[in-house]
Amino acid sequence: MSDKAIDVSLQQNSPIPLDVNFSCNTGEILVILGPSGSGKTTILRSIAGLYTPRTGRIRSNGEIWFDSAHGRKLAIQQRRTGMVFQHYALFPHLSALKNITAALSHLDKAKRMARAEELLARVNMQGLGSRYPHQLSGGQQQRIALARALARDPKVLLLDEPFSAVDQQTRRKLVRELVQLRSRLAIPIIHVTHDLNEARRIANRICIIHHGKTLQIDTPKNIMSQPLNRNVAFLVGHYNVFSATIEKHDNENRKTYIKWFNHMLETPYRPELDAGMEIDWVIPAENLILHRRDRPSKGEKENPVSGDIEEFIPLGETSSVTIKAHGTEQLLTMSVSSHVARRNGLGKGGILSLSLLSKGIHLMARQVV
């Protein structure tokens, strides 16, 4: 038996392909991250009982909510899930307080108002219970929707892109409040989004899905620095993803060397990869270091590469620079501060030299595309 608070395994070929397996612990925020149309909302609806997949199993704290193999399917009200939708789904004719009390039918009438006031305070909306949805801002409506979702003391909280309909400043506030709320709720929270930055800020772990299939589950740090394959690397926003060959291993100094066209690159030690093996590799943009003309550094000897600047885009305080690496016809993208770009005379058509930091290179099993 798993000690996870909720275990989910869903499979079907159509109409929406699903092949997902994940667990979420009590007090954890698991973010399901993937592009639009990848099946994220269908997964939440399956957990809540609003959709029935062809095959699969859902278990919460040892209780089976859905098991296709044994014909078991608990009704929606038996699952005790709290769900917050992208567009709030509040009752427009009810006040904020009554929107919450509408979800408290399991309590005696005498206790409902006091409980609703408690929930208002929990989401920082005390004193606004008499207002109707049209009198509330988007962020305030979302807080009421969250309070209503918590009204039934759910065993799991499901959030379906809850911050996508508000402005960036409000989104930052709601994200911070959710993280603070997590420790007080002591239930698993499954949060769906296609926003990578949002996922990185709030997740304990991220589940990457694409075309309904689980690709990788890990901490935000590991997802970014150690993607499982090139698909994951692209989905989390990496540009610098390439193919190479394992050249050799330096067992004494714990280094692995790869052959990338005519470049021999030093990388972290990966002795499990055989010499001669074709692999994929990725290096995050922050691990590309510009060789500054005004201040040479010792690091310039580490995996030096030069190339022609194919694209130069000023973006305020930083500039995006893309070079075609000499001898490869491959494009490397990096970000430099705009004042450094000016000081070094960077611009389209120029030549740039840089280092690929060894510690930032991650080797991946080859994925045929």
For the stretch 115-157, pLDDT in tens is 999 999 999 898 999 999 999 999 999 999 999 999 989 999 9
Which amino acid, 158? L
Say if residues 138 and 173 touch (Cβ distance below 8 Å).
Answer: no
pLDDT beneath 50: ranges in the chain: 1-2
Q: What local confidence, expressed as pLDDT, does residue 1 receive?
A: 38
Which residues are registered as beta bridge partners of 288? 356
**CA atoms of 123 and 130, how far apart (whole Å):** 15
From-to residues of CATH 3.40.50.300 in the chain: 6-234
Q: What local confidence, expressed as pLDDT, does residue 299 receive?
A: 53
From-to residues of CATH 2.40.50.100 in the chain: 241-365
**CA atoms of 96 and 102, how far apart (whole Å):** 10
Q: Which residue has the tokens 């608070």?
A: 5
Q: Which residue has the tokens 């510690």?
A: 359
Q: What local confidence, expressed as pLDDT, does residue 246 receive?
A: 98
Q: What local confidence, expressed as pLDDT, does residue 221 receive?
A: 95
Strand 18-24 versus strand 156-160 pairing type: unpaired
**CA atoms of 41 and 34, how far apart (whole Å):** 11
Q: Which residue has the tokens 């005004």?
A: 294
Phi, psi of 318 (to 5 degrees): -125, 165
Specify the pTM: 0.90
Q: What local confidence, expressed as pLDDT, does residue 17 receive?
A: 95
Question: Cβ–Cβ contacts within 10 Å for residue 172, how many?
Answer: 14
**CA atoms of 206 and 190, how far apart (whole Å):** 10
Q: What local confidence, expressed as pLDDT, does residue 294 receive?
A: 58
Q: What local confidence, expressed as pLDDT, does residue 298 receive?
A: 53
Which class would CATH give 6-234? Answer: alpha beta
Q: What local confidence, expressed as pLDDT, does residue 300 receive?
A: 61
Sequential DSSP letters for 48-69: HTSS--SEEEEEETTEEEEEGG
Q: Is the peptide bond before 314 cis (omega within 30 degrees of 0)?
A: no
Q: What local confidence, expressed as pLDDT, does residue 296 receive?
A: 55
Q: Name, in order, each residue with C-beta under 8 angstroms of 30's C-beta and a sequence gap of 6 or more.
A: 22, 24, 188, 189, 190, 191, 203, 204, 205, 206, 207
Which CATH fold would you assign to the domain 241-365? OB fold (Dihydrolipoamide Acetyltransferase, E2P) (2.40.50)
Q: What local confidence, expressed as pLDDT, does residue 106 receive?
A: 87
